[in-house]
Amino acid sequence: MNALHAQFIVSNVVTGESGQIHVIGRCGEAIVAVGDVFRCVYRIRKPEYPHGMAGPPIRESGEHEAALKVQCIHAYDKSLRELGAGMTGSLVIVGDGVKYVAPGVMLGQPSPACVES
């Protein structure tokens, strides 16, 4: 488990018939593993660089405390135990804070000032 550094950028959210929450997106710079817990949900924005260059997402204010546990990982038509840095896939998450999960947020760990907004 690498929960201290695990991040996941959410592109889409799907609620299955069973009520399970599937988040589709991209892993940050550290591995996300089954059993990891995201402790904070926050909005991000893409930085504006000249000539269309890309950079790391910028964390915006308005973080929400959470306890979202990774129950399952799916990528490339397989169930995986972990998702490598930068890989795309879907996570099944359970726990507190699901109401804050939406496209354009990052699941991660709190900054020192993480408070409910």
pLDDT value, residue 58: 63
How many structural domains comprise the chain? 1
Query: What local confidence, expressed as pLDDT, does residue 117 receive?
Result: 42
Would the pTM of this model clear 0.75, i.e. be above it?
yes
SS3 67: strand
Asked if the structure places residue 23 within a domain, the reply is yes
Task: Answer yes or no: is 2 within a domain.
Answer: no
Structure tokens at 94: 């359970």
Q: What are phi and psi of 81, to 5 degrees?
A: -85, -25
Q: What pLDDT digit, counting tens, does each position of 40-91 carry?
A: 998 876 766 666 666 566 666 678 999 999 999 999 999 999 999 999 999 9
> Quick one: which of 11, 15, 36, 33 has its CA closest to 24?
11
Query: Would you give the distance in Å from CA 5 to the centre of its chain?
Result: 11
Q: Which amino acid is at 95?
A: G
Residue 117 lies in a domain: no
CATH number at residue 20: 2.40.30.10
In a domain, 115, yes or no: no
In a domain, 113, yes or no: no
Specify whether the CB–CB gap between 60 and 4 falls below 8 A: no
Domain range for 62 is 8-47+55-108
Asked whether residue 20 is assigned to any structural domain, the reply reads: yes
